[in-house]
Chains A and B, each alone.
Chain A
Amino acid sequence: MTATLLPPPVSSTQPPGPPGFGRALRAEWTKFRTLRGWIIAVLVGLALIDAVGLLLVRGSIGCGTASGKACYQPLPTGPDGEAVTDAFYFAHRTLTGDGTITARMTDLTGRYSSHPGQVAAGQEDSGETVGTQPWSKAGILIKDGLTPGSAYAAMTATGGHGTRMQWNFTHDAAGLPGPVTGSSPRWLRLTRSGDTVTGYDSSDGVTWAKVATARLTGLPATVQVGLFATSPGVLVLTESFGGSSATGGPSTATGTFDHVALSGTVGGADWAGGAVNGDGRPAPLRDGRPLVGSYRPSGGQITVTGSGDIAPAVPAASTSPGATATIGDHLAGIFLGLVVLIVVAAMFATAEYRRGLIRITLAAIPSRGRLLAAKATVIGAVTFAAGLVAVGVAVPVGVRISRDSGFYVLPVSGAIEARLIVGTALVLAVCSVLALAVGVILRRGAAAVAAVVVVGIVLPYLLGTAAGLPDSAREWLLRVTPAAGFAIGQTIPRYAQVTARYDAPAYFPLGPWAGFAVLCGYATVALAIAYLLLRRRDA
């Protein structure tokens, strides 16, 4: 080398560039994107989410001799768009314009399979037991026709929850408490005025109390009005040392009515009895014939017997047909993808310490807070974007594949679907930030850091969702560990008026955002510790 080459001065015409945090952010983004291995790993994580979620999880279902798409059996949807069960026996007449139905109930009885789980739907049950289910219902009903899923309002006695007013499947209001008996009858009344229906109850037919007012938008002038009975399947939860299991079987309810009175323009000379069957399942057999329910006038008394439920459908609820899915069922690949993304996030931190890169980094970006914020923002944004793409593909494609395989996917609103997709991407992002922070805290061993985070997030989720632990322990795990964040994947609400096994992964002990907040809490604490250590430690 003959002459020493010196660098030219930095051009003064060079644009000033972004301010402090912006420069740090740009530097860390450049640092991230220029390591090919990390970019490949993120793409692998993304691909795993889709591949596992879409290819491996869901097989094809069978129904009788058919299978797959031939078994597809949609549920009716209620006025608000949710999937519903709308199966009951109805003794009905038409009512045109405003009017009122009043009836006294003197009894509500029921029968159910004494061998739940051993009697398949469509088969006869030899050993029935007398008794109602908590949500066995019989009462009076105003409904927009006989089509399953149509708008309605009902005043009903129940097996275990007193008198209720329910309307349009998701609404439930409490009236008089206690069961219906001959000595403690219940008077029920529904009054229609335009598209509002008001429910009243009374214990003596003299003193009436309003229970609730339902607005049934678009209720036509002529509606069906009458007496109904229905009863959801038995749900028996068995807790044992090794876990818990649920079994079920059909049940019926019989309501006994008298003092039935109608006012308004009533059509027809007498009640017409018939089953509304909107659960797509064969009715239980009684005396060798399908039990569709019955309507029996006897003197001044009318008894109505029915089976089914008038309620929103929930995943794996006792009254739902077997082959339902939720849109969140297509995200089983999240965990494999998460593990890969966590390793990348941990490496983004530990690579700084492996050979002393941190000293170059801190010489360029001396503010520890700014550096940590920049790194967290970069890894969070990268993971969020990857998650958004992966989940944004897995959910709609998965729903289509599930339908083609014969599964009915419980419909949810666009807002809920957006919450699932964006929320799951956010959970991935926050998990990555948590891994980054743990990486800064521990400094060495990306594998060890990833292990810490996997044990902290994935393990409690697996323990919390798989059978093998008592329900209370599983609920605790999904409440206090970072795995609570996966509550964001809940898409179907839980309903007080539906007896079901509200269980992970479809249901979490915490709400979607509350669970996400728990995860964010862990990430915040880890970031704070990482920041304090980064400030206190020599580089």
Chain B
Amino acid sequence: MDTKIEVDGLHKRFGGKTALDGMTFTVAPGRVTGFVGPNGAGKSTTMRVILGLDAPDAGTALVGGRRYPSVPQPLRLVGSLLDAAAPQPGRTARNHLLWLAHSQGLGVRRVDEVLDVVGLASVARRKAGGFSLGMRQRLGIAAALLGDPPALMFDEPFNGMDPEGIVWMRGLLRALAAQGRTVLVSSHLMSELQDMADQLLVVGRGKLIADTSTAALLAAAAGDRVRVRTSAAAAAAAALDRAGGDVTPAGHEALTIAGLPASEVVAVLNAAGVPFTEVATEQASLERAYLELTRETVEYAGRPTHEAAR
């Protein structure tokens, strides 16, 4: 089972809006890969392109070296959950899976197997329209597992799940990866992926920002930062910069300083006679590393406009 998902140079515009701007990455088998980025970063569009639902303006997306739409029984190659609300409300969970199974040449026995796995066997003959969002997510997972595929893609699978469901889902995804499957899970919340993803694809504005192991990202984010609240931000920044701090503005009358411990920051500010109201140490976290990464993209993307204005 060595079914890589390879995305290369995807470009896609919807009307005047750029959705994908050279999205490129490879998802390796045998581990859970998190696909993170703010809403609108292009995660769902990328997944739709991989599944042949959206046609890219440029670039290719291959699964196991093949274009998904050219595969005769595609659910045997990639299982996917894009939108848990998509199944028709009037059809029972079992019948929803049954027509999907028939589309792949599979039978009703397989339907009952996957219903068992996701814990919906007892409500199999109830209409999907009466399901909670968490139950619908489970139904979507069942559909993804139907074809016993070597690759799986889930778009925001934790939405609407109760804590027990989230724990179950993490275990399931890890177990699938442990079997050697390729597992790509998107989320706009790093916290959902923190304890589960081995690898992270961080995206923003339609392109890849970082392709890193979770461990490496955590290491990069290590080193505490100090947050200063002051009415004289400019003077404070100048003083801290001279003292060797890495100063970045953090909103109105606030600065984030890396490279200086909190005690040193207080000393520098006192020595320079700069007033401040608060100095606090921030804990290192994936969430912050992710915010840093995505903010940089925003800043980077904003620069050309700034220069053009000069």
The answer to whether residues A366 and B103 also contact, given A4-B172, A356-B85, A360-B143 and a CB cut-off of 8 A, is no
Known: A362-B51, A366-B52, A539-B48. 10 other contacts (CB 8 A): A7-B114, A23-B73, A26-B103, A34-B95, A356-B82, A356-B86, A360-B82, A363-B53, A363-B78, A364-B103
Query: Is A16 close to B, CB under 8 A?
Result: yes
Mask, B121-158, CB within 8 Å of A = 1, is: 00000000000000000000001010110000000000
Query: Is A270 close to B, CB under 8 A?
Result: no
Most buried by A among B99, B145, B167: B99
Residues of A within 8 A of B73 (CB): 23
Contact A363 B99 (CB under 8 A): no
A243 to B152, CA, bound (A): 67
Query: Is A64 close to B, CB under 8 A?
Result: no
A–B pairs, 15, beta carbons within 8 Å:
A6-B176, A6-B179, A7-B113, A10-B76, A15-B105, A18-B105, A27-B100, A27-B103, A35-B90, A362-B52, A363-B74, A364-B103, A364-B104, A366-B52, A539-B54
Nearest Cβ distance between residue B207 and chain A, in whole angstroms?
19
Contact A359 B86 (CB under 8 A): yes
Mask, B90-130, CB within 8 Å of A = 1, is: 11100110111011111101100110110100000000000
Query: Is A300 close to B, CB under 8 A?
Result: no
Mask, A435-469, CB within 8 Å of B = 1, is: 00000000000000000000000000000000000
Contact B85 A359 (CB under 8 A): no
Nearest Cβ distance between residue B51 and chain A, in whole angstroms?
5
Contact A355 B86 (CB under 8 A): yes
Q: Tell me which of A7, A28, A357, A363 contacts B87 (CB under 8 A).
A: A357
Contact A26 B51 (CB under 8 A): no
Query: Is B185 close to A, CB under 8 A?
Result: no
Most buried by B among A9, A24, A36, A538: A538
Contact A1 B171 (CB under 8 A): yes
Residues of B within 8 A of A36 (CB): 90
Query: Is A299 close to B, CB under 8 A?
Result: no
Contact A5 B102 (CB under 8 A): no
Most buried by B among A15, A16, A17, A26: A17
Mask, A1-39, CB within 8 Å of B = 1, is: 100111111110011111010011011101100111100
Residues of A within 8 A of B100 (CB): 27, 360, 364
A27 to B107, CA, bound (A): 11
A539 to B52, CA, bound (A): 9
Tally of chain A residues near chain B (CB < 8 A) = 41
* B149 (CB) vs chain A CBs: closest residue: A10
Residue numbers of B with Cβ under 8 A of A are 48, 51-55, 68-76, 78, 80, 82-83, 85-92, 95-96, 98-100, 102-107, 109-110, 113-114, 116-117, 119, 143, 145, 147-148, 164, 167-168, 171-172, 174-176, 179
Q: Tell me which of B69, B117, B147 contacts A5 (CB under 8 A).
A: B117
A9 to B70, CA, bound (A): 23
Residue numbers of A with Cβ under 8 A of B are 1, 4-11, 14-18, 20, 23-24, 26-28, 30-31, 34-37, 351, 354-357, 359-360, 362-367, 538-539
Contact A364 B74 (CB under 8 A): yes
Q: Tell me which of B48, B114, B145, B167 contacts A1 (CB under 8 A).
A: B167
The answer to whether residues A24 and B82 also contact, given A5-B117, A539-B53 and a CB cut-off of 8 A, is no
* B89 (CB) vs chain A CBs: closest residue: A355
The answer to whether residues A30 and B86 also contact, given A1-B171, A16-B105, A24-B103 and a CB cut-off of 8 A, is no
Contact A31 B113 (CB under 8 A): no
A538 to B68, CA, bound (A): 15
Residues of A within 8 A of B143 (CB): 360
A141 to B244, CA, bound (A): 127
* A357 (CB) vs chain B CBs: closest residue: B86
A362 to B76, CA, bound (A): 14
The answer to whether residues A7 and B145 also contact, given A16-B105, A30-B98, A366-B74 and a CB cut-off of 8 A, is yes
A1 to B100, CA, bound (A): 27
Residues of B within 8 A of A27 (CB): 99-100, 102-103
